[in-house]
Amino acid sequence: MLDLVAALKAAAEPTRLRLLALCSNSDLTVSELTQILGQSQPRISRHLKLLHQAGLVDRQREGSWVYFRLAGQGSSGDLARILIDSMPPDDPTLTLDGERLQQVFQRRTEKAEQYFGRNAKRWDQVRSLYVDEREVERVLLDLVSTRSVKRLLDIGTGTGRVLELLAASVPELTGIDSSSEMLQVARANLARKGVRNCALRRCNMYQIPLPGGSFDAVTIHQVLHFAETPEQVITEASRLLTPGGRLFIIDFEEHELEDLREDHAHRWLGFRPATLRDWLAGAHLEPGKHLSLAGGALTVGVWTARRPETALDSD
């Protein structure tokens, strides 16, 4: 009860209520929140500190930046969502905050477009070698949506496309990536699409700072061929799955296009299905369906696996 009282006290102030409403839309920095509310940075920082201490917002450091978003699971997070749902939709102050938030999103979009402009040609060269990405996405969406997935982790989320694709099917999504620049692109893309049920964080995919058994499903989309030790990524994904949880891997099957290694930093020239099955079994997962989607010079493989209801390892 004391925690609830503390959370109510923290929220019971106009600026902090406005901050809660804004942080329910996206990850936002102190600088962005300062621009929206028109208050000093020290003042905004103090309000955010109180909200964080009360468990109403989450705080995530990403290099020299710190992002704030509405708290995830827990009674304080539930309270924050109740308060936001109770706010009058026609309140003029909240309406103005929303308009300024859209300006922040627009600036993010402009930065994302600049990044894409620098890299689009390189990515398009690879995409031209395999099956239409829409077909790959259709398969992934079918696999995930036919199961009861409440919490999903996307490892190496990149532009956030997998999160965007699955946002309507999965209530709570988390994307991780080691690149701050890519996370900026993902935030811009998700904001432009109005996706609000995704959390993003910067971390190493070999050592993800999240508790074991946190997710019903994990996706690894076109990431393993960049990994130095793909089997370690799979083992980490297995650790994070709940008993009965599912792993979905999408990557290239074995090929001989050496240019991808030299020009596009691919560490692996695809994978043999048998190799992936061995790695999955080594991570105490039950290998499931494997699909091959033939395209041009490259074939896209889709691998699925399930964590047993009774874990075979010690985590």
Instruction: Let me know if residue 43 belongs to a domain.
Output: yes
Q: Are residues 214 and 66 in the same domain?
A: no
Instruction: Let me know if residue 97 belongs to a domain.
Output: yes
Q: Are residues 85 and 149 in the same domain?
A: no
Beta strands in 76-204 (DSSP E): 151-155, 172-177, 198-202
Instruction: Tell which of 63, 85, 101 closes a domain.
Output: 101
Tokens describing residue 150: 């409440």
Instruction: Let me know if residue 122 belongs to a domain.
Output: no
C-alpha distance from residue 267 to each of 220, 236, 270, 271 (Å): 16, 19, 9, 11
Q: Are residues 264 and 153 in the same domain?
A: yes
**Residues near 248 by beta carbon (within 8 Å), at least 6 away in sequence:** 140, 143, 144, 217, 218, 219, 220, 302, 303, 304
Length of the chain: 315
pLDDT tens for the chain, 315 residues: list them: 777 788 888 999 999 999 999 999 989 999 999 999 999 999 999 999 999 999 999 998 877 788 999 987 677 888 889 999 999 989 999 999 999 999 998 888 887 777 666 766 677 678 778 899 999 999 999 999 988 899 999 999 999 999 999 999 999 999 999 988 889 889 999 998 999 899 999 999 999 999 999 999 999 999 999 999 999 999 999 999 999 999 999 999 999 999 888 888 899 999 999 999 999 999 999 999 899 999 888 999 999 999 998 744 433
Q: Are residues 237 and 147 in the same domain?
A: yes
Instruction: Let me know if residue 119 belongs to a domain.
Output: no
Instruction: Let me know if residue 162 belongs to a domain.
Output: yes
> Domain tally for the chain?
2
**CATH number for position 276:** 3.40.50.150
Q: Are residues 134 and 93 in the same domain?
A: no
Minimal CA–CA distance to 7: which of 89, 66, 83?
Answer: 83
Q: Classify residue 288 as exposed, middle or buried by CB count within 10 Å of its CB (0-12, 13-18, 19+).
A: middle
Instruction: Let me know if residue 109 belongs to a domain.
Output: no
Q: Are residues 22 and 141 in the same domain?
A: no
Residue 215's SS3 state is strand
Q: Are residues 32 and 149 in the same domain?
A: no
Q: Are residues 283 and 138 in the same domain?
A: yes
Cβ atoms 186, 162 nearer than 8 A: no
User: Residue 57's pLDDT is what?
Assistant: 94
Instruction: Let me know if residue 135 belongs to a domain.
Output: yes
Domain of residue 73 covers 2-101
User: Residue 60's pLDDT is what?
Assistant: 86
Q: Are residues 90 and 139 in the same domain?
A: no
Q: Are residues 154 and 32 in the same domain?
A: no
Instruction: Let me know if residue 24 belongs to a domain.
Output: yes
Q: Are residues 186 and 273 in the same domain?
A: yes
